[in-house]
Structure formats: structure tokens, C-alpha cells
Chains A and B, each alone.
With several copies, the nearest count.
Chain A
Amino acid sequence: MTDSGLEFDLTRRIGGFILRGRASLPACGIVSVSGSSGAGKTSLLRAIAGLDSGLSGQVRFAGETWHDGTCRMPVHRRRIGIAFQDTRLFPHQSVAGNLAYGAARAPAGTPGPDRAEIIALLDLHPLLKRAVAGLSGGERQRVSLGRALLSRPRLLLLDEPLSAVDTARRNRLLPDLRQLLLDHGIPALHVSHSRAEIAQLADHVLPVRDGQCGACHPLNDWLAAQDASHPFSLLEGHLAGHDTENGLSTVRLGEASLVLPGLGEVPAGASLRLIVRARDVALALDPVPGLSIRNQIPVRIKGIRPQPGTAYCDLDLALDGQVLTARITRAAADSLSLETGQSVIALIKSATLDPAQE
């Protein structure tokens, strides 16, 4: 058994729609499948799960052949957990019965998250005795996700698993879900229309467009590339310390440091990812006193990229070996006479870095 994860190279025709995909995904971590409605995300997940006939090509997982031409491993032997887009709970069983269904069928002794953990994660306790029929849309999705997790899957396929769950709960849930998957080494393929959800869950992103799978990108590249009108930068740093009185934390990025709110529970020294929206970064020629913006970081302009068709130009700013992108209006860039190589001050409001904001 090799160390490889999911590999596939497949074609499927459904009516007038053709799905084509070829990718090799890492053995662990979460890959989000992104694409507009009708792009073929669900179809891709179904093809990988082996739910559809008429598939040509290959699907391999962890060195095991799941599909090769005509030879096909039955779905139930693949040990995949699927959270279906339409939940598909069993109407004749209670919530507890649904949760137990997969768990009871997992080979004895398989490692995986245990029931209590999942129930706590998804807050299922108040629902356990309920019939499936009376659940609300979001409750159904949580049960469906829990059922998939409890079947001790070797691979998780999550098809818009939290689209009916409110943002607050989703924001609470996603980091914990991610941690759980990483802790138990369960790789996942995840479909969502919400950029925020992808950003919080994924390691990689697999774009799908008109039935064509693109190449798999690391999350940051995708976040930066996928939509030029919402550029981000991802900065790696580590926690330097907390200012508990003001509720602020300091993150060191090499020489520079950033102050931001609300990381109270992260231990000092832990490494962190910060997502900084380019539109939230302003530039000044010199440090500015008497300003509410506390993060004033010296950077050097590496490149200036005017964005045709918009009012903007984007600036790549060198920050101690990392790149911070700023988006300002062209008019502002002109009036400041910014040039490549120039040293400037990047201004970032702490409030825009709050991880509690979606």
C-alpha cells in the first residue's frame, strides 16, 4: 500500500453533460471542490464514490483500485462517508438510529472519531431521540454529516454539508471539524459555494467548470487567483503574546508584528495563518502619527499591477520574505507617485483582521 491519496482520471457522459476529471490528491487534508451551480461538483463526487454507472477511466485510493474500466469495487466496500446535498436520512429510523447505521457497519476496531465526540461537535444531543421527519433543514444536515463521520470512513465526501446551517453556528463548527479530520487523518473532498467555508476548511481547492476539473491548487493560491476582484494574502506567523486588558494579540511576521483582536485562546509561540484582504491594506509614504490604525508596517513595493476595467491597482509588498497585497485606487497610487522598489508603510486596521468576522 503506497502513501498516495485519491487519484482519478475519469470521463462520464450524462445526457448532454460531460464530466472530465484528472487529479491526484494528497493522502490527507481537505480539498474543496469549487465551481458554479451545475458545474459538475456533485457528479464528480458521485463518480469518485462509484454511485453512477457508465464511468470510464480510473479511480484509485490509497493504492487500492476503486474503478478501472469495467472493474468496479462496490460502493459499500470503499468505506466512504458521504454527506449528500439532500441529506438522505432514513425516514424509518430516529436520529440516533441514523447515526448508528454507519457506525454499526464499520469493521470492528477501525480507528476514528467516537460517538461522543461527534455528538458534541455537531451539537446533536438534543436531537437524538427525535424522528427524522420533524427536523429543520439545518438539523438534517448536521445529522447527515454526523452519520457520515460515524461510519469511520477512509475518505469523506461532503456535498454542501452546511448550506442550511446559520453562519454563526457554521463558524463555530468549521474549525473544530477541520481539527477532527486532521486529528484522525481522514482526507475529505468538500463542495461549497461559500468562500468563507472553503477558506476555513480547505487545504487545497479543486476548481470545476462546465464539467471540467481544473488543477488542484493550494488554498492560498486559489484564494488569490480565483477572483481578481477579491485579492487576499495569506501570511504565516506565530503568536508573540496577548494584551489581555485590551483583548489584543500580537502576531510576529519575521521582523514586523501585527496587532489583532480575539486570539485569546491560542498559546504563545503557536504558528498561525492570517488572511489579509487586499482592500483592507492602505499605504502611507511615512509612518502616520495620530491615527487609529495601529498596524503600520514598513514594506517595499515589489510590483504594481493596475487592474484594467476597474478603478484599482494592486501592489505586491515585500514583508520579510512574504508578500502582502494591497488594493488601492489608481487615483491614489498616482497621487502618491508610488513606484516599484519604493519603501512605504502598509496600514492595516486591527478590526479587519478579526478572525471572528466572516
Chain B
Amino acid sequence: MSGSVPAILLTLNLAAVTTLILFVLGTPLAWWLANTRSRVRPFIEAITALPLILPPTVIGFYLLILLNPTAPIGRFWVTVTGDTLTFSFAGLVIASILYSLPFMVQPLQTAFDRIGRDQIEAAASLGASPLDRFFSLVLPLSARGFLTAGILTFIHTIGEFGVVLMVGGNIPGRTRTLSIALYDHVEALRYDQAHALAAGLVILSLIVLSLVYWLNRRSPRHDG
């Protein structure tokens, strides 16, 4: 298990960064989707659901094509940072963001959808600007949606594997995440190690998740 420490740290780091960035990107997108009257809305909604449709390895394959140092994006990244996007932490983050997008956007949109205009109008009349309204009203009223979105994204990033494997290339300490390590154990018939790692992961997650849900147990239900 001790050999798994770098993988664990890397995985937590990746999941945290991905979730944070997706909060920042997904929130305005979900808000826009929940509020717009635009004709293109159904199309954009479909696109946000789409990253799930292709198997991870295949998405990874296309990301490899898209992000490689000779492709525009990859080249740009190399000139700016000096490092390649593929097989680096940055590449993993981009891949995870893309692949976890639906888990962030869709629950948020569901939560936003049920916030009535009434309260928002009241806040506006009390002098709250749109941004202020968002933070002081929409955010607390859709706390449960944020929790769901955050947890689905975080967990999905932890368990993610195909995309990360392809784009990251399994470099120990750099791109070898926990799920890859676990997969390796199973493939290499190191079942004992696989069992230990899987059990550890499950128990730890159960504790952490229970704690998070317990802290959130005062849901805003029954308020009308």
C-alpha cells in the first residue's frame, strides 16, 4: 500500500483541481442554461451531456490527437509553458474536466431550474446586483445541487481511468493515478495488493462521503 502514496496524492490533487475548475466553468454554464430563452439551448444541453457517450479510452485517443505537441492546442501550450500538454498533469486536468463536465453541469442546472424568480426579484429590489444575488441567494438555495455536482465530479475523477491512462501515460508520480495503479495490480495478477488498495479506497471514501453528507444534513427542504 505504501507504494500507492504518490498515486493517492496525485489522484486527490487531480480530483480537487478538476472539481474546482469545473465549479468555476460549470456554474455559469448551468446558470445560463437554466435561464436562457435562446433557441440553441437544447443543442448546448446535448453537448454538455455528450462527453459520456464515448468510452473513456476512445475519448483519450481523440484527446491524444487533439492535444499532441504538433496540434495547434498542444503546440500553443508548449510555447507558453515549455511542457507538453499530453502526459502532464495539465493534460490530465483538461481530460478530466472534459470527461466530468456532465456531472457538474447537469445537477447544477436541475438545482437552478427550481429556484423561482420570486426570491431573485426580492433580492434585486433590496439592492443586490446579479452577482451578489447569485452568491447570497442562488448559491445557498441550491446548496444540495452544488454538493451533488461536486461529489459526482470529484468521485468520477477519482474513478476515472481510461481517459487518464491514455492522456497521462501512467508515469509514476506524474500521471499514474490511483485507479491506474489499481488496474495494474489486477492486470498483473497482484490480487492481494489490488484487494487492499480497493478496500482502502472504498472505506476511506465511505467515511469521507458520509461526513460530507452528514455536514450537509440540514437540507433546505421543508421551507416552501
Within 8 Å of chain A (Cβ to Cβ): is B192?
A: no
Of A1-9, A75-83, A214-222, A335-343, the one touching chain B: A75-83
Of A20-28, A101-109, A175-183, the one touching chain B: A101-109
Q: A132-B223, A133-B222, A133-B223 are in contact. Are A88 and B129 (CB under 8 A)?
A: no
Q: A86-B118, A92-B140, A101-B136 are in contact. Are A80 and B223 (CB under 8 A)?
A: no
| Residue of A with least CB distance to B124 | A75
A80 CA to B125 CA, complexed, in Å: 6
User: Is the CB–CB distance between B118 and A76 below 8 Å?
Assistant: no
User: Is the CB–CB distance between B121 and A51 below 8 Å?
Assistant: yes
Note all chain B residues with C-beta closer than 8 A to A81: 125-126
Within 8 Å of chain A (Cβ to Cβ): is B128?
A: yes
Q: How many A-B residue pairs have CB under 8 A?
A: 70
Question: Which of B126, B220, B223 is the one whose CB lies under 8 Å from A101?
Answer: B126
Within 8 Å of chain B (Cβ to Cβ): is A233?
A: no
Note all chain A residues with C-beta closer than 8 A to B129: 74, 76
| Residue of B with least CB distance to A49 | B125
Q: By the criterion of a CB under 8 Å from any partner CB, how many residues of chain A are at the interface?
A: 25
Question: Which of A75, A88, A102, A106 is the one whose CB lies under 8 Å from B118?
Answer: A88
Within 8 Å of chain A (Cβ to Cβ): is B35?
A: no
Note all chain B residues with C-beta closer than 8 A to A51: 121, 124-125
Interface string of B138-176 (1 = CB under 8 A from A): 001100000000000000000000000000000000000
Note all chain B residues with C-beta closer than 8 A to A80: 125
- Name the interface residues of A50-108: CB closer than 8 Å to any CB of B: 51, 74-76, 79-82, 84, 86, 88-92, 101-102, 105-106
User: Is the CB–CB distance between B127 and A151 below 8 Å?
Assistant: yes
Note all chain A residues with C-beta closer than 8 A to B224: 86, 91, 133
Note all chain B residues with C-beta closer than 8 A to A142: none
User: Is the CB–CB distance between B220 and A92 below 8 Å?
Assistant: yes
User: Is the CB–CB distance between B126 and A147 below 8 Å?
Assistant: yes
- Name the interface residues of B50-87: CB closer than 8 Å to any CB of A: none
A86 CA to B133 CA, complexed, in Å: 19
Note all chain A residues with C-beta closer than 8 A to B125: 49, 51, 75-76, 80-82, 148, 151
Within 8 Å of chain A (Cβ to Cβ): is B205?
A: no
Binding site for A on B (CB under 8 A): 118-119, 121-130, 132-133, 136-137, 140-141, 220, 222-224
Q: 9 new A-B pairs (CB below 8 Å) besides A82-B122, A86-B118?
A: A51-B121, A75-B124, A76-B133, A88-B119, A88-B122, A90-B137, A92-B141, A105-B127, A148-B125
